[in-house]
Amino acid sequence: MGLDLDKDKYQTMAWLYLDNILGEFNSITKLGYVGFSTWTREKLWRTVFQF
């Protein structure tokens, strides 16, 4: 079947998933809200290339 019951491999993956979940939670609680909007070419030009 291709399923390998290597405990160390799955334990490492579990820690990586836990780290990812906690990192996302930390980001969400600090940011609170991210708004997305459409950008016109002129608005993008004014925002990015302000000196």
pLDDT tens digits along 5-18: 778 888 888 899 99
What is the C-alpha separation between 49 and 38, in angstroms, rounded? 18
Q: Select, from the ranges 7-11, 32-36, 46-50, the one with the highest average predicted confidence (pLDDT).
A: 7-11
What is the C-alpha separation between 27 and 25, in angstroms, rounded? 5
Q: And the tokens for 4? A: 């390998």
pLDDT confidence band for 51 (50 / 70 / 90) = low
Average pLDDT over residues 16-30: 85
pTM of the full structure? 0.44
What is the C-alpha separation between 28 and 12, in angstroms, rounded? 24
pLDDT confidence band for 3 (50 / 70 / 90) = low
The pLDDT value given to residue 2: 62
